[in-house]
Structure 1
Amino acid sequence: MARKQKNPGLKNGITARWLRGNLLITVLLMLVVEGMFLYNYTESYYDGVQQSMYQRFSSITGQLKVYSGDTSQKAAANRSVALRRMVEQFSDKDKYEFMLLDSYGEVIASTSGTGAEGIVTWEDFEQAQTAPDGMGVALYETSSGEPVMSVCCLVPYAAEDVVAMRLVTSMTLIQTQIKNAFLLSALVVLVALAFTVASGLYFVRSIVAPLGQVERIAADIARGDLDVRLPEAVVPRDEMDRLRSTINRMAEGLAETERMKNEFISSVSHELRTPLTSIRGWVETLNTLDDPSDENYRKGLQIISSETTRLYNMVEELLDFSRLQNGGIKMECRPLDLVAELTDAVLFCEPRIRQAGLVLSYAEPEEMIPVHADPDRLRQVFINILDNAIKYSAPGGRITVKIWAGEYKAFIEIIDQGRGIPPEDLGNVKAKFFKGKNAVRGSGIGLALVESIMTALDGTLDLRSTLGRGTVVTLGLPIYRK
């Protein structure tokens, strides 16, 4: 049993790429912003508490300066007494624990009247002893699990056994504020993320769904169903609407090309069948004739030769067109006289023109017109246009050939008085496989071949026609200058 393959679009679709790319970046960016916000918010609160205790220490040390006039021993004793009195009379006992420390970091006095067992640490005292400003800070939890901050400050003046002061404050309210800020910011991030996901999925799906529809229709077209079409907006609003219109135009173009190709195959089959039927019939007739001098014998050979030449020319035209379309023919261009090339082609077609009962009007210019072109392909263009003029003209009509040189280009006009081209066919007669309503025998690619050759020679092909009055074909080629 064949193993079912997973749909690669699930892993590599636009939605998956958006989830892996844009959404991931958005989430990471929000996390970074959230982290920065919480860090700065926490630091601002902690710094505020720390600065508040620094200011209290500054106020206390300022009060100790009043004893600087006493003798050193007496001043030290006075400072010690003053510090102990400050501890006893400390007004913010509900906010801070104020302690005095000895040289070993042991608590000498405290606002709570105890040794402050379980609420102190050695970290701030040790840090203060090595810090240039004599300050140390510690964040920790007491033995009861309460978060606190302690700031230790070395006494700048001798005060007997008092070496340092410590302020300890609870951080419970601060951490509650930080936790509330974290929850609020997390809620904001989740709301923003939900909005981003919802709006992003809505936008992505507004693209994915139409693209899926386009993909299905394109797959139908690739399988050969050229009648399917995508729904179109009356006025294209965005790239998706324009893509639908483009897909529909492509399908219409392919359908038209398919129709023209089928008509071309049918036409060519008919064109090939006619001379083949004639050749086959005359071969059977010649098999019954034993006398080569018989008039029917000679007539049959002439018809077989004529039809064989017609078949050969038709096949060569098809091969040339195919080679030009596929880039298989390389132009062998060289400087040449456009007047001489046109005159040779006119002389080649003149017997057929007179045989068809038409009048040829051509005045060969005396001065040469230099161009850079492939003479064989140029002759093929002239003969093809003249052949069309002969086929589409009634006896008694006139075929006029003109040539002149402009400032940068040389122009050739071949004018007939034939049946003309219907206006609705005029824009398509140069398309491959197209045969108009007034078309006669032929493969239907003559003008397409001519245009391909002229394009390869950097030339132009223009058509003007009036139904029932004739057609004017204008060829243009750049004048060659050394």
Structure 2
Amino acid sequence: MRSGITRRWLRGNLLITVLVVLLAEAMFLYSYTRSYYGSVQQIMYRRFSSVTGQLKMYTGDTAQSAAVSRSLALRRMVEQFADKDKYEFMLLDSYGSVIASSSGTDAEGIVSSRDFEQALGAPDGLGVAVYRTQSGEMVMAACSLVPYDAEDVAALRLVTSLALVERQVKNAVIVSVFIAVAILLFTVMSGLYFVRGIVVPLGQVERTAAGIARGELDVRLPLTGDPHDEVDRLRGTINQMAEGLEETEKMKNEFISSVSHELRTPLTSIRGWVETLMTLDDPTDENYRKGLEIINNETGRLNNMVEELLDFSRLQNGRIRMECRPLDLVAELTDAVLFCEARIRQEGLLLHYTEPEEMIPVYADPDRLRQVFINILDNAIKYSAPGGHITVKLWAGEYKAFVEIIDQGRGIPPEDLENVKTKFYKGSNSVRGSGIGLALVDSIMTALDGTLDIKSTLGRGTVVTLGLPLYHKA
């Protein structure tokens, strides 16, 4: 992970930074060099302006005499040139050949015709060229055409060495490279620090997640408590996931234990009575009939338990299709109450139910709705003591119909109440069962766009309220 994130950072962020720094470096050196060269060029152009300005003063009786005066004046300027240590001052003829030079030579090997050719084609008569001499020295040559007739003198040229400029540029290159390297080093160090700040926690998260995948559900990641830290929020999410998996694993184990116990009880009873019946030859024997009745009841109990488990599994996996249609909720609830009435009386309980006179239309699956009612009534019977009352109420609101089933049983402890609709959960006050009855009811009600609300007081009873949307033909 570390190498992967670091590699992506190097390919992405660092590469862009290097390109930006190199571009900035190139632009700076280019503008810096052009600025120096431009300054030298402007100085030489100003000298040309000064010289040509002085030529205005040279006049004569005729144009020829004025031209001779200007030519002599220019030659004196070349001979008496004061800045010979800085510039080479030359006079050129109309072919660009050197007529006179401040150094007294023809400047062989240090001149180029490019500045003269550029001046000939320029509207202002100025030209400049930067090149290396035969000795390898970088120089700048500026040329200006003489605007007045001066016999054979057609142009002026100044040549200066750029060695000092090169040293300045070289110093600027060294400084700028040092600054660029410092920027890149700072970028690399800060970037690696930032990447490490992500990679190390992610590595910790990866190891913890791998431990959870191996079944180590008790591992937890340390938290800083900073709500703005994305990595810390990720650690918190991983911890919540581990806690949820641990709780699910615990409930699963309890469910397996509970279901195993629930299955063992009827199976033991069935096996015992089968062995008993095998010793009886008389079908009219009271024990024979009693044994068959018990076997039949226990087999039905096992079948109901298995069907409940299968239904819940199908609902969770979306494999059960609701076959909904318009129904009379009054008729459906009355059928479920009548189905459970005999058992309620058998357990010594009192039933209070008044069937509404008007029908209440809902849109639901009749089989699943009946399963919900019987499941809730079954819980009310199981958790009620003999002599208790079970009350069933039904009424229609503005938008919903409500069914309320009230018992006077043992109630649900407050610490269990918020979890009773969780699959596989069995509270401390629960009796026999698979632990998925209310979870199945809640899943069915959700699929029917309904609601399930449970209120309970320990030792006084439980109120279960079911809500279903009313059906309108429109």
TM-score, with length taken from structure 2:
0.97
1:104-163, CA deviations, whole angstroms, 9 ceiling, x for partnerless residues? 222111111211122211221222223333222111122332211001112222211111
Instruction: State the AA in 1 paired with 2:203.
Output: G
Distance 1:479 1:49 in 2: 94
Residue 113 of structure 2: aligned partner: 122
Q: Which residue of 363, 378, 388 maps to 2:369?
A: 378
Q: Which residues of 2 match residues 361-440 of structure 1 at below 5 A?
A: 361-440=352-431
Distance 1:480 1:214 in 2: 51
> Which residue in 1 is equivalent to 2:57?
66
For residue 314 of structure 2, what is the aligned residue in structure 1? 323
The separation in 2 between residues aligned to 1:299 and 1:338, in whole angstroms, is 38
Secondary structure (helix, strand or coil) at the match of 1:230 reads coil
Offset of residue 246 of structure 1:
1.6
SS of the residue corresponding to residue 66 of structure 1 reads coil
Selected match of 1:185 from 171, 176, 180:
176
Determine the structure 2 residue equivalent to 1:142: 133
How far the C-alpha of 1:65 sits from its partner, in A, is: 2.5
Distance in structure 2 (CA, Å) of the matches to 1:369 and 1:64? 118
> What amino acid maps onto 1:352 in structure 2?
R
Moved more, 66-75 or 31-40: 66-75
* Residue number in structure 2 paired with 1:79: 70
The match for 1:248 is 239
Report the Cα offset of residue 237 of structure 1.
5.5
Residue of 34, 37, 40 corresponding to 1:43: 34
Question: What SS does the corresponding residue of 2:147 show, helix, strand or coil?
Answer: strand
The change in CA–CA distance for 1:111 and 1:274 in structure 2 (over 3 A counts) is: same
Shift of 1:383: 0.5
- Please give the secondary structure, in 2, of the residue aligned with 1:225: coil
| Deviation for aligned residue 1:174 | 0.9
Tell me which residue corresponds to 1:34: 25
The alpha-carbon deviation at position 294 of structure 1 amounts to 1.4
Find the aligned partners of 2:129 and 2:389 in 1 and give their Cα distance.
114
Q: Which residue of 2 aligns with 1:472?
A: 463
Letter in 2 for 1:27: V
What one-letter code is carried by the residue in structure 2 that aligns with 1:241?
Answer: D
1:334 aligns with 2:325: yes
Q: Please tell me whether residue 169 in structure 1 is matched to residue 160 in structure 2.
A: yes
CA distance in 1, matches of 2:80, 2:334: 128
- Helix, strand or coil: the match of 2:427? coil
Name which of structure 1's ranges 131-140 and 68-77 shifts more when overlaid on structure 2.
68-77
Aligned residue among 338, 342, 345 for 1:351: 342
1:283 to 274, 279, 282: 274
**Take 2:431 and 2:54, find their aligned partners in 1: how far apart are those partners?**
122
Aligned match of 2:297 in 302, 306, 321?
306
Q: Which of the residues 102, 113, 119 maps onto 2:93?
A: 102
Shift of 1:343: 1.0
TM-score (norm 1): 0.95
Separation in structure 1 between the aligned mates of residue 44 and residue 147 of structure 2, nearest angstrom: 16
Deviation for aligned residue 1:439 = 1.1
- State the match for 2:214 in structure 1: 223
Q: 2:210, 2:300 → 1: CA distance?
A: 45
Q: Is the 8 A contact 2:259 2:433 kept in 1?
A: yes
Q: Hey, what's the Cα distance between the residues in 2 that align with 1:52 and 1:454?
A: 94
- Secondary structure at 2:264 match in 1: helix
Structure 1: runs of 5 or more not aligned: 1-8
CA distance in 2: counterparts of 1:39 and 1:68, whole angstroms: 46
In the other structure, the counterpart of 1:454 is: 445
Following the alignment from structure 2 to structure 1, what is the Cα–Cα distance between the partners of residues 360 and 73? 122
Change in Cα spacing, 1:339 to 1:277, as seen in structure 2 (3 Å) is same
* Partners of 2:348 and 2:386 within 8 A in 1: yes
Moved more, 133-142 or 229-238: 229-238
Measure the CA separation in 2 of the matches of 1:405 and 1:173: 100
Determine the structure 2 residue equivalent to 1:4: none
Q: Percent sequence identity over matched residues?
A: 78
Give the secondary structure class of the aligned counterpart of 1:42.
helix
Q: Does 1:264 align with 2:255?
A: yes
Length, aligned pairs only: 473
Confirm or deny: 8 A CA contact 2:92 2:157 kept in the other structure: yes
Structure 1 letter corresponding to 2:321 = K
The ranges of structure 1 where at least 4 consecutive aligned residues each deviate by more than 6 angstroms after the TM superposition are: none
Please give the alpha-carbon distance, in whole angstroms, between the structure 1 residues aligned to 2:112 and 2:226. Answer: 77
Counterparts of 1:87 and 1:453, CA distance in 2: 110
**Cα distance in 2 for residues equivalent to 1:70 and 1:478:** 121
Is the contact made by 2:130 and 2:139 (CA closer than 8 Å) also made in structure 1? yes
Cα deviation, 1:9-30, whole Å, max 9, x if unaligned, reads 365x211111110011011101
Q: Distance in 2 between matches of 1:87 and 1:462?
A: 111
Q: Could you tell me which residue of structure 2 aligns to residue 441 of structure 1?
A: 432
**Quick check: 317-326 or 397-406, which moved more?**
397-406
Tell me the distance in 2 between the aligned counterparts of 1:372 and 1:132.
Answer: 95
Deviates more, 1:233-242 or 1:403-412: 233-242
> Alignment partner of 2:283: what SS?
coil
Letter in 1 for 2:426: K
**SS of corresponding position for 2:134:** coil
Q: Which moved more, 1:355-364 or 1:241-250?
A: 241-250
Unpaired runs of at least 5, structure 2: none
**2:103 corresponds to which of 112, 115, 118:** 112
Distance 1:136 1:279 in 2: 118
Distance in 1 separating the partners of 2:176 and 2:61: 57
